[in-house]
Amino acid sequence: MEGANRLEEAKKREERIKQNLSKIKHKLVVISGKGGVGKTTVAINLACGLVNKGFKVGVLDIDFHGPNVPKMLGVEGKQPLVSNSILEPVEAIPGLKVMSLALLSNNPDQPVIWRGPLKNVAIKQLLGDVNWGELDFLVIDSPPGTGDEPLGVFQTISGLDGTIIVTTPQEVALMDARKAIGFSRELNVPVVGVIENMSGLICPHCGKEIQLFKAGGGEKLAKEFKVAFLGRIPLDPKIVENSDSGKLSCLGDSRTSKFLQEVVDNILERVP
Ligand SMILES: Nc1ncnc2c1ncn2[C@@H]1O[C@H](COP(=O)(O)OP(=O)(O)OP(=O)(O)O)[C@@H](O)[C@H]1O
Ligand SMILES: [Mg+2]
């Protein structure tokens, strides 16, 4: 009896996922091979750049072990409203909805210890049990690598617009980014393009650029795999400051804003 109920609930959820996804025009997944290359920074700033252009955007955080989106968007501690078991996403700025496991937990220091199947259920809940409403874009922020979380999203969302590959310029990051491109292709999810983050450091004193992690690797990678190069974002201490304090770099007067804008424009050209 309990098994039958669970089956019924799962069927209803699949139906809600379908309905929810039909109201979201574009779905993008931000992935990388390596950790710490700036996926979350790119995801939230891309979302905010799209909001600035008048689009309605959602950010879904599927990094269950290290959900940083709420902190970086300045909505940490906000509780999503629940009615009839459906969650309302939290609004970071007008037009920007957010959902993350971090918004559903009472203790930010509590680790999530889950194997793959549980992550799959969580992904389905975040897609089916959240009232995303009408959106132009859903930007999905992944944990590093080619594991359960992006795989779960690829398998749950048919008609993804594609993946955005974030890398830093040095070879060790590019090595892993190649795998991320291969992963996307193997699962028939188009690659929208590559972003080279932490590409040069603009000295806060003299304004000149230092190639801390080298430069140009992301562009070369894009050429090698015949995918679009979506732009570069320099290292900027302001970005660290902003993400620690939950301020969006693309909203501020950061020197990086114009680079972020260019990335947004390039993505819009490919995902009209
Ligand atoms: N262009 C940049 N300039 C300066 N700092 C940056 C830049 N991009 C990201 N950072 C900083 O680097 C750190 C890691 O970035 P972020 O959390 O976005 O990476 P990530 O790829 O999402 O990491 P993870 O793999 O853990 O999810 C953050 O403190 C962020 O503020
Ligand atoms: Mg992250």
- Express each pLDDT in 188-240 by its tens digit: 999 999 999 999 987 778 878 888 888 899 999 999 999 999 999 999 888 88
How many structural domains are present in the chain? 1
Expressed in angstroms and rounded, the spacing between residue 38 Cα and the centre of ligand 1 is 4
Expressed in angstroms and rounded, the spacing between residue 87 Cα and the centre of ligand 1 is 28
3-state secondary structure of 103: helix
Whether the CB-CB separation of 234 and 200 falls below 8 Å is answered with yes
- Express each pLDDT in 88-114 by its tens digit: 999 999 999 999 999 998 888 888 888
Q: What CATH number does the domain containing 23 carry?
A: 3.40.50.300
3-state secondary structure of 162: strand
Q: Hey, how many other C-beta atoms are within 10 angstroms of the C-beta on 41?
A: 25
Q: Distances from the Cα of 69 to the Cαs of 60, 61, 155, 247, in angstroms?
A: 8, 6, 23, 11
The one-letter amino acid code at 155 reads Q
Closest ligand 1 atom number to CA of residue 256: 1
**Is a pLDDT exceeding 80 seen at residue 160?**
yes
- What pLDDT is recorded for position 225? 96
Q: Which residues line ligand 1 (CB under 6 A)?
A: 32, 35-41, 63, 66, 68, 143-144, 197-198, 233, 235-236, 239-240, 243
What average pLDDT does the segment 80-84 reach?
Answer: 93
Task: Give the percent of the chain with pLDDT over 90.
Answer: 75
φ and ψ at residue 229, rounded to 5 degrees: -95, 120
- Express each pLDDT in 203-213 by its tens digit: 778 878 888 88
CA-proximal residue: ligand 1, atom 31 (nearest): 240
User: Rounded to 5, what percent of the chain is helix, strand, coil?
Assistant: 40, 25, 35
What average pLDDT does the segment 53-67 reach?
Answer: 97
- Express each pLDDT in 37-48 by its tens digit: 999 999 999 999
- What pLDDT is recorded for position 253? 64
**265: containing domain:** 2-270
Query: What mean pLDDT is reported for the chain?
Result: 92
Expressed in angstroms and rounded, the spacing between residue 205 Cα and the centre of ligand 2 is 29
Its pTM stands at 0.95
User: Which of the listed residues 239, 247, 258 should we mutate to test ligand 1's pocket, taking the one with most ligand atoms within 8 A of CB?
Assistant: 239
Token look-up 């909505």 returns: 75
User: Which of the listed residues 63, 240, 250 should we mutate to test ligand 1's pocket, taking the one with most ligand atoms within 8 A of CB?
Assistant: 240
Q: Distances from the Cα of 257 to the Cαs of 109, 212, 227, 232, 250, in angstroms?
A: 32, 20, 24, 11, 5
